[in-house]
Structure 1
Amino acid sequence: MATTNAPADPLAKGTLATAKQAWSDLFKWKQRVVATNEFGESHTEWQSPEPLKSPISLMAQLNAKDWLFFLVGFSAWTADAFDFHALSIQTVKLSKYYDRSKTDISTAITLTLLLRSVGAAFFGLAGDKFGRKWPMVINMFILGLLQIATIYSRTFGQFLAVRSLFGLFMGGVYGNAIAMALENCPVNARGLMSGILQQGYSFGYVIAACANLGVGGSTESWKIVFWIGAGISIGVGFIRICFPESKQFIKARKAGKRAKAPGVFWRETRHMLAQEWRMCIYCIFLMTWFNYYSHTSQDSYTTFMLTQKHLSNAPATRASILMKTGACVGGTIIGYLSQFFGRRRTIITSAFLSACLIPAWVLPEGERSLSASGFMIQFFVQGAWGIIPIHLNELSPPAFRSSFPGITYQLGNMISSPSAQIVNAIAENTMITTSKGVQAPAYGPTMAVATAIIALGIIITTAFGPEKRGRHFETVGPPGTEVVSKDIEEGIDDDDKDRAQAIELADSSQKHEKA
């Protein structure tokens, strides 16, 4: 069917050419899109964004099975976030329990983030090769068991060892969760569903903060929160067992079932890396900024209120809950808006507004003011984050929708892993006078300066980066199917090839005898 859209120059090739084209396209309302017609012919054209539809109508486009896949992916991501934040919001308790400084305790956060990329690579590639289901089931069970092992860590050395191992398996959740949740979504609903999905991270924080509030402020109470986290992770694993494999993966596997030959998967993976190495580096760089963005603005916020603002455990926890409630709301709304305004424009606007709110975030006193300012800044911080799941999925090589987002996300996590430790170290070595006239670690100024620098980095990186909003990747099979797709299309199997070779040999020998 003929298109009425104006033709556009092809997508630029090369780093500088791509950056120049991306910067220019940022100021054009229509988007440069590679379209494919019914004959498989591709061309580049300018497309206007579809008008925003009602969120209710967008959600209605998902059928019951699509919703089940989405909710399981959301639950897995929520459990992963709970397990991570169960430590970060209880830094003060753990510091007292192990008789270590808060900077020492944040070493566990660094180790967890550092090793998540290894788990992302292993479980992401397993998800692309074997399916989304069983890698996730194994992942969630082991996460629950490691939460229990953390509780029984008697020494600080044992605690760090368990949390390091914990990081390996935390890294495997993200890629499989977002692939399973989003790959079945209709194209025009992805922005909204991406925003909702990403807020599983904030929702996990809210649940962990509520658990922390419920168990009280005693030193030993941190263990109860970890027991809750173990139950959630194992529970999600059992729930995932009850549901089938992702329908997109099943269809792709049936279409390319002959791609199971040894070596095909790894050959396709190497081919993808050779072709897409620039995109890999860009996404890792972007995810480094984004992981610094979230961890710098949130991991030490409870500690900031307890030490610099002189709040007790209960009001500080309530303020943290409201802060992450703002994140849930912002991520959903801004992810939804990105479907119309574009992924990059929406990310840049959110990062800019979050930077403008930094003074109002760290200067107020009292629970109410800190709750309101925390709500607003996280509205835009996690608002920008709400676009990331679908943005990464659209930038991914289509056959690697499980491994590519997970690996790039977790490599960014690895590079930014010292973020909480850096904030704690600088703050504890820089004392300021609080409103009560006492000396306290400078958590507020440290987080403010770091977050401003990071927001600027996100704005610049996003402005010169690619965007593939509206990309259709539903029909692309798992890695390896492309290797045999030509043979399948031509109706040639291995026996046909052998038969053809035998006929050619016979013909050549007959010709030789006649000669």
Structure 2
Amino acid sequence: MSTTNEPADPLAKGTFATAKQAWSDLFKWKQRVVVTNEFGEEHTEWQDPEPLKNPFSLFAQLKAKDWLYFIVGFLAWTADAFDFHALSIQTVKLAKYYDRSKTDITTAITLTLLLRSVGAAFFGLAGDKFGRKWPMVLNMIILGLLQIATIYSKTFQQFLAVRSLFGLFMGGVYGNAIAMALENCPTNARGLMSGILQQGYSFGYVLAACTNLGVGGTTESWKIVFWVGAGFSIAVGFARMLFPETKAFIEAKKAGKANAAPGLFWKETKVMLKKEWRMCLYCIVLMTWFNYYSHTSQDSYTTFLLTQKHLPNAPATRASILMKTGACVGGTIIGYTSQFVGRRRAIIVAALMSACIIPAWILPEGERSLSASGFMIQFFVQGAWGVIPIHLNELSPPAFRSSFVGITYQLGNMISSPSAQMVNAIAEKVNITTSKGEKAPAYGPVMGIATAIIALGIATTTALGPEKRGRHFENAGPPGVDLMAAKDIEEGDDSDEKGGARAVEVSESGIEKK
């Protein structure tokens, strides 16, 4: 089919050539798109971005079952975040309970983040091979049980051991939840839905903070928050049991006859890694920056309010809740606008805006001022994050959306795992004079300097990286489909030739449109 769009140079090959082209494309309003015609021939052209649609009309495009998959994916990610933040927002309580320093308690956060990549690899590959359903069910129920095990940890060593095991299973949630929720969404609604979906993380923080506010500031009250988190995770696991595998995964698996080729799963995995290793490394670097971004700016924030700003438990918790409310709003709005302005532009502007707000974030005194500045900085921090679910899905090899997204995200988490511990350790070694004339750990300056460096790192990395906004990955089957299709063609299986061509097409780099 002929097109009236202006032709463009092909996608660059190689690391430096790709970075140079990406930087140049950032300042062009039109998007470089790889187009495949009905004969399988490819060319590259410039296309105008699709105009933003009314969000309510985008919501209306999702069918009832699509909403079901999305909501359960959102709740799984929310429960995952609740379980994680149940510890970070109660660092002071846990330090008193186990008679340890706050830095010692944040060792548990480091261990949790360090081991999440292992769980992401296991459950991500299981999700790509066997489907999104049962890996998620198993994941969520075990998470809940490990929350209960945390409550019954009598010694600090037992506590650390359970939180390490918790990290293994926590890592498996993100990839399957994101893939399940977004693969059923219409293409032009994915920016908006990505922004909402990512805010399950912030919403989980808000729920954990509200629970912490409700149980009060007594030392023993930390256990109640963990009981709530355990019930939440197990409930999501049972909810996922009640409806079937996603239609997109089932149809793609049938089309590729992946069940008939058990050895092709690992063969195609090796082919993908050989072909896409640069993309894998890029996404890991990007997610390392992003995980430092969120953990540095939020994990020690409640501790900062309690120690440096002298707020009691209730006002500090309320300020934390409003901070993460800003995250929910920002992630949704900026994720939505990325459908029009582009994934990379949205991320870069949000990151730079967050850097500009840092002085207003750490300098004010009093609950109201700190709540307002916390709301604004997290509006942009999580605004940038709101683009990530769909950006990673579009950058990933189509057949590996669950494992690629989960593994790159959690490897970034692993590398950034010492973030909270580093902030606490540096802050506790450097004292500043507070507004009351007292000496206190320098949480504000440490978080501010670190967040500024990270925001600039995100802007630079994103500016030099690829973008595949609008990529059509919904027809790609599980790993093994491409090689099975190629095998069928070699054997002269005409009935599968078209399906094989389709699978190969959506596996190519670039944005595939017919």
**Normalising by the residue count of structure 1, what TM-score does the alignment of the two structures yield?**
0.95
* 1:87 corresponding residue in structure 2: 87
Q: Deviations over 1:86-125 (max 9, x none)?
A: 0000000000000000000000000000000000000000
Q: Which residue of 2 aligns with 1:165?
A: 165
Q: Does 1:46 align with 2:46?
A: yes
Match of 2:15 in 1: 15
TM-superposed CA distance for 1:41, in Å, is: 2.1
Question: What does residue 508 of structure 1 align with?
Answer: none
Contact kept, 8 Å, 2:258 with 2:478, in 1: the verdict is no
Q: Per-residue CA shift, 1:146-201, capped at 9, x if unaligned?
A: 00000000000000000000000000000000000001111111000000000000
Mapped partners of 2:56, 2:479: distance in 1 = 35
Q: 1:205-264: CA deviations, max 9, x gaps?
A: 000000000000000000000000000000000000001101110001110125542321
Q: What is the match of residue 134 of structure 1?
A: 134
One-letter amino acid of the structure 2 residue matched with residue 243 of structure 1: F
1:225 aligns with 2:238: no
1:415-456 C-alpha deviation (Å, 9 max, x unpaired): 000000000000000000000000000000000000000001
Change (3 A) 1:493 1:2: closer
CA contact (8 A) 1:259 1:481 kept: no
- Which residue is equivalent to 1:499? none
Distance (whole Å) between structure 2 residues aligned to residue 181 and residue 491 of structure 1: 37
Q: Distance in 2 between matches of 1:172 and 1:226?
A: 20
Paired letter, 2:439:
Q
- Please say if 1:257 is aligned against 2:257: yes
- Aligned-partner Cα distance in 1 for 2:144–2:158: 17
The offset of 1:475, in angstroms, is 1.2
Name the SS of the counterpart of 1:287 in structure 2: helix
**SS of match in other structure, 1:57:** helix
Q: What is the alpha-carbon distance in structure 1 between the residues aligned to residue 321 and residue 174 of structure 2? A: 23
SS in structure 2 at match of 1:75 = helix
| Correspondences of 1:245-324 after superposition (within 5 Å) | 245-324=245-324
Partner Cα distance (2:95, 2:401) in 1? 40
C-alpha distance in structure 2 between counterparts of 1:58 and 1:490, whole Å: 42
CA offset at residue 44 of structure 1?
1.0
Secondary structure in structure 2 of the residue aligned to 1:402: helix
Map of 1:122 onto structure 2: 122
**Counterpart of 1:411 in structure 2: which amino acid?**
L
Q: Find the aligned partners of 2:356 and 2:402 in 1 and give their Cα distance.
A: 35
Partner of 1:432: 432
SS at match of 2:49: coil
Measured in 2, the distance between the counterparts of 1:94 and 1:470 equals: 45
2:79 and 2:233 in contact (8 A); partners too: yes
Within 2, Cα distance between the matches of 1:158 and 1:215? 24
Number of residues paired by the alignment?
495
Mind listing any 5+ residue stretches in structure 1 that lack a counterpart?
A: 495-515
Partner of 1:380: 380
State the AA in 2 paired with 1:25.
D
Task: Give me the whole-angstrom Cα distance separating, in 1, the residues matched to 2:43 and 2:250.
Answer: 29
| Pairs within 5 Å for 1:363-378 | 363-378=363-378
What is the deviation of 1:42? Answer: 1.9
State the match for 2:78 in structure 1. Answer: 78
Partners of 2:399 and 2:41 in 1: how far apart? 20
Match of 2:451 in 1: 451
| Distance across 2 between alignment mates of 1:102 and 1:171 | 24
Q: Which residue of structure 2 aligns with residue 59 of structure 1?
A: 59
Q: Once the 2 structures are TM-superposed, how far is the Cα of residue 40 of structure 1 from its aligned partner?
A: 2.5
- The code of the aligned residue for 1:293 comes to Y
The question of whether the paired residues in 1 share the 8 Å contact of 2:257 and 2:484 is answered with no
CA distance in 2, matches of 1:359, 1:104: 29
Contact kept? 1:291, 1:412, Cα under 8 Å: yes
Aligned match of 2:35? 35
Shift of 1:487: 4.3
Residue pair 1:175, 1:407 contacting (<8 A) in 2 also: yes
Question: Does the Cα contact within 8 Å between 2:264 and 2:484 map onto a contact in 1?
Answer: no
1:488 deviates by 4.0
Instruction: Map Cα deviations across residues 64-95 of structure 1 (whole Å, 9 max, x no partner).
Output: 11110000100100000000000000000000
Q: Is the 8 A contact 1:362 1:444 kept in 2?
A: yes
1:339 matched to which residue of 2? 339
The letter of the residue matching 1:138 is L
Task: Tell me, yes or no, if the aligned pair for 2:137 and 2:240 is still in contact at 8 Å.
Answer: yes
Letter in 2 for 1:20: K
> Any gaps of 5 or more consecutive residues in structure 2?
495-514
For 2:43 and 2:389, locate their aligned partners in 1 and report how far apart those are by CA, in whole Å.
26
Contact 2:194 2:387 in 1 (8 A): yes
Counterpart for residue 199 of structure 2: 199
Matches within 5 A, 1:410-425: 410-425=410-425
1:4 Cα offset (Å): 1.6
User: In the alignment, what sits opposite 2:474?
Assistant: 474
Secondary structure at the counterpart of residue 45 of structure 1:
strand
CA shift in 2, pair 1:258/1:219, >3 Å? closer
Whole-angstrom distance in 1 between the partners of 2:48 and 2:349: 20
Stretch moving more, 232-241 or 34-43:
34-43
Task: Classify the secondary structure of the residue corresponding to 1:303.
Answer: helix
Distance in 2 separating the partners of 1:54 and 1:177 = 26
1: CA distance, partners of 2:47 / 2:381? 29
Deviations along 1:25-64, one digit per CA (max 9) or x if unpaired, are 0000001011122233222111110111000001111111
Q: 1:258 to 1:166 in 2, by over 3 A?
A: closer
Contact persistence 1:316–1:367 (CA under 8 A): yes
- What secondary structure, in the 3-state scheme, does the structure 2 residue paired with 1:323 have? helix
Identity %: 83
Cα shift at 1:493 = 5.6
Is residue 257–residue 481 contact of structure 2 (8 Å, CA) maintained in 1? yes
Q: Residues 322 and 374 of structure 2 are in contact (CA less than 8 Å); yes or no, is this contact kept in structure 1?
A: yes
Pair 1:410–1:260, CA change in 2 (3 A):
farther
Provide Cα deviations, 1:308-334, integer angstroms capped at 9, x if missing partner. 000000000000000000000000000
The residue identity in structure 2 corresponding to 1:19 is: A
Instruction: Look up the equivalent residue of 1:357 and give its one-letter code.
Output: I
